[in-house]
Structure 1
Amino acid sequence: MLKITFSARPNARGPRSLAIALIAGIALSLAALAPAATAADEAAPEDTIGISAKPQAADENSAGRTRFSYQMSPGQNLDDVYVVTNSGTTAQTFTVFATDAFNTAEGGYGLLDTGVQPADAGAWVRFGGETSVTAALQPGESREIPFSLVVPADASPGDHAAGMVVSALADDGQVLVDRRVGTRLYVRVPGDLQPNLTVDGMSASYTPSINPLAGEATVTFTVRNAGNVALSGDLKTEIKGLFGIGLAPALETEVDEMLPGSTRTVTTTVSGVGQWVFLNPVVTLYPSVDAEALNPGPLTSVTRDTILFAVPWVLLGLIVLGLGIWGWIVFSRRRDARRARAWIEYTEAEARRKAEYEREPAVVAAASPTRSESS
């Protein structure tokens, strides 16, 4: 309880002061109540929309499936069950349908937008004869959604990819948001199966470093699923030199599942590559299938390579500089030696000339008395 105490000291403007005090008291009371109202608002949780869905387990003792995988002949049909759960905190109406799948630019497993008509395996699914079904679920409630799948008589051999989709539309302010979850669905039609991953358009570049043995080789290429079976792959990128000698540790990466007809640009960078002038980047792709996928038979690896030149310009520059210094030293020594020899020859010649000059007066002096006696 908020208590306001007023001073008993006489004041000529008592009524005005009382009014001000009352206004201040009301303001303080509202301020004291405001945090409680805010706390009450924050304590009330907001409703959330949550969706989860999965294939029905084959039996009580089997582990749950994470995808629908079927092998069906043209004209064949089967029935299965999709389990949808409202994992949110509010009642929600869900729409369940099937649509076609594709690989995204990043290599993910994408599904067509809601409202886009499927043309492949997504069009083979029916819910009681309809292309979709709705289910109103309370929070925490699950429901089994039965569906049938009919393979057309003219279906081509190979893998046909689709997805089961659960969609919930909800208002988010002034925007209607479509929240979706999906489960992969694969139908393999038997016949001439052609599991075939290829590597094309290979190019390479080299990035040097100050350390001539610590450069990077970047290899770019295109992986194409040219067959009719969905495949993943393990990639090994190696940098070899003359005679197939490895010049750096091999780099191993993975290629996510690629649907038939899809392509993907892959770039790998191998570190610790020396500037050995001749480099031979080699890429080996080992196809594989998902653990839950049907076995398509033997898979063949594919290898591609290219040639790359990495000239050690820094090292060559140091060598040229060293040779220049060595040449200058040799030249200077030879020049100095020539000058020294020339100086020695000059001094010896001067010494001989001086000695001869000093001997000539003595000879003349010795010859003069003889001439006098003769006269």
Structure 2
Amino acid sequence: MYAVAPPRRPLPTRARTALLVLLTALVSGMFAAPALAAGGDVTWTVRTAANDYGDDRSSFSYGVNPGGEAEDAMVVANHGKEPLRLAVYAADGYTTDKGGLDLLTQDKKSRSIGSWVHTPRTSVEIAPGKSAEIPFTVTVPRDATPGDYVGGILTSLKQSDDAEGIAVDRRLGIRIKLRVSGALRPALAVEDVRVGYDGSANPFARGDATVTYTLHNTGNALLSGTQKVTLTGPFGALSTDAADVAAPPELLPGERWKVTVPVHDVTPAFRLTATATVTPLITDAAGSTTALDPVRATGHGWAVPWTALVILILVVAAAVAAFVLTRRRRARRAEREEERVREAVDQALRENAGHQA
């Protein structure tokens, strides 16, 4: 079980070198550059405050009992020449299609850690060259499900670009990882394994296969892992391993990740079997990584050597045609021989009848 987070002591307000942890900027649904001044310099930065949790952290991380809370703070520094007014809010995290962590925008409703983080104010105004400390409290509901949650606390600057006619929302924030104490049940499933094959016109050449499957975090803990993919022919023969299968991103509980693995130099053995083996990796509160029991799943696909098959069909067809023609010729010779015998018998009978007469 995790103890309730330690009490917060007075935090220093002195300026320090800023640490950029997470940066996302939304421009009409597309990611863009960080918040910039007219000269192209970053106008503000965020970092974790120095306190009992540590003096130089890259992100916020807590272990809290259901019904408990953790208090911390983020420091925001204005490096620009104009006063800066920023919105402050928390949001749930999710894994993007590219495998990175992103946070919900302010107009999206957070349902877990993003709704458990509370700040005394929803905006902050910082004078040029100054910094402000933004305290926040993570309050875990008593009925919170044990396991891992990931979100973040964000600062946001919304600006309108009259020239482009669009609204720009530049966001800068820090990741929050929370483990709610209780039974931790890490589980990873490998689902929907499929095999595709792309051969060549050379009947004796090998081809390339593509194995796809989905990783599904069915447990309540953050999981990454290592992967191995093997292709075999009928009866386990002609085994081929995929080279350098990339590790998946760290998946949040409930998330899915589509994996595509190319496999080269595959023998077209008509029927291929793909075996995906994933070893889940879990990180504990101290930062140590532990490997869990491997998870395996199989799928099948056709790898037909069409050129060789066509050649084989033509050879078989030619052999069958030759066999049929040979039988027909033999049958005709037999018929001609029988006809000759009948004619000889008839001739002999006629001659014998003439002698008797």
TM-score computed with the length of structure 2 as normaliser: 0.69
Deviates further, 143-152 or 245-254: 245-254
* Matching residue within 72, 75, 78 for 2:67: 75
Checking the alignment, whether the CA contact within 8 Å between 2:207 and 2:268 is kept in structure 1 is yes
Change (3 A) 1:201 1:249: closer
Q: Deviations over 1:275-296 (max 9, x none)?
A: 1223211111121246987569
1:157 deviates by: 0.6
Say which SS state the counterpart of residue 270 (structure 1) adopts: strand
Q: Which amino acid aligns with 1:76?
A: G
Change (3 A) 1:88 1:291: farther
Change (3 A) 1:321 1:170: same
1:54 matched to 2:47? The reply is yes
Task: Tell me the residue number matched to 1:41.
Answer: none
Task: Tell me the residue number matched to 2:177.
Answer: 186
1:121 matched to 2:113? The reply is yes
Task: Tell me the residue number matched to 1:65.
Answer: 57
Q: Which amino acid aligns with 1:170?
A: Q
Q: How does 1:355-366 map onto structure 2 within 5 Å?
A: none
2:66 and 2:207 mapped to 1: Cα distance?
Answer: 55
Say which SS state the counterpart of residue 156 (structure 1) adopts: coil
Task: Tell me the residue number matched to 2:297.
Answer: 304
* Matching residue within 250, 271, 276 for 1:278: 271
1:228 and 1:200 mapped to 2: Cα distance?
Answer: 18
Checking the alignment, whether the CA contact within 8 Å between 2:62 and 2:70 is kept in structure 1 is no
Checking the alignment, whether the CA contact within 8 Å between 1:47 and 1:89 is kept in structure 2 is no
Structure 2 unaligned regions, length at least 5: 1-37, 326-357
Identical amino acids, percent of aligned pairs: 33
Q: Which amino acid aligns with 2:297?
A: R
Task: Tell me the residue number matched to 1:136.
Answer: 126
* Matching residue within 103, 121, 135 for 1:146: 135
2:57 and 2:90 mapped to 1: Cα distance?
Answer: 17
TM-score computed with the length of structure 1 as normaliser: 0.66
Checking the alignment, whether the CA contact within 8 Å between 1:49 and 1:90 is kept in structure 2 is no
Checking the alignment, whether the CA contact within 8 Å between 1:159 and 1:230 is kept in structure 2 is yes
Higher helix share: 1
Cα RMSD of the aligned pairs, angstroms, is 3.5
Change (3 A) 1:177 1:309: closer
1:280 and 1:75 mapped to 2: Cα distance?
Answer: 49
Q: Which amino acid aligns with 2:128?
A: Q
* Matching residue within 161, 186, 190 for 1:195: 186
Say which SS state the counterpart of residue 161 (structure 1) adopts: strand
Q: Deviations over 1:171-215 (max 9, x none)?
A: 322544211022221111111111111011222221111345431
Q: Deviations over 1:227-252 (max 9, x none)?
A: 11111222221112345345334231
2:286 and 2:81 mapped to 1: Cα distance?
Answer: 35
1:108 deviates by: 3.3
* Matching residue within 83, 86, 110 for 2:78: 86
2:190 and 2:67 mapped to 1: Cα distance?
Answer: 35
Task: Tell me the residue number matched to 1:238.
Answer: 230
Checking the alignment, whether the CA contact within 8 Å between 1:238 and 1:246 is kept in structure 2 is no
Change (3 A) 1:261 1:295: farther
Higher relative contact order (CA 8 A, sep 6+): 2
Checking the alignment, whether the CA contact within 8 Å between 1:169 and 1:177 is kept in structure 2 is yes
Checking the alignment, whether the CA contact within 8 Å between 1:197 and 1:226 is kept in structure 2 is yes
* Matching residue within 146, 160, 174 for 1:171: 160
Checking the alignment, whether the CA contact within 8 Å between 2:242 and 2:264 is kept in structure 1 is no
Deviates further, 313-322 or 291-300: 291-300
Change (3 A) 1:169 1:48: farther
Checking the alignment, whether the CA contact within 8 Å between 1:79 and 1:146 is kept in structure 2 is yes
1:330 and 1:200 mapped to 2: Cα distance?
Answer: 50
Checking the alignment, whether the CA contact within 8 Å between 2:196 and 2:210 is kept in structure 1 is yes
Checking the alignment, whether the CA contact within 8 Å between 1:195 and 1:296 is kept in structure 2 is no
Structure 1 unaligned regions, length at least 5: 1-44, 333-375
1:159 and 1:268 mapped to 2: Cα distance?
Answer: 28
Which protein has the larger Cα radius of gyration, Structure 1 or Structure 2?
1
Task: Tell me the residue number matched to 1:206.
Answer: 197
2:81 and 2:201 mapped to 1: Cα distance?
Answer: 60
Change (3 A) 1:106 1:323: same
2:182 and 2:82 mapped to 1: Cα distance?
Answer: 48
1:153 deviates by: 1.4
Q: Deviations over 1:315-372 (max 9, x none)?
A: 233345567789999999xxxxxxxxxxxxxxxxxxxxxxxxxxxxxxxxxxxxxxxx
1:253 deviates by: 1.7
Deviates further, 241-250 or 156-165: 241-250
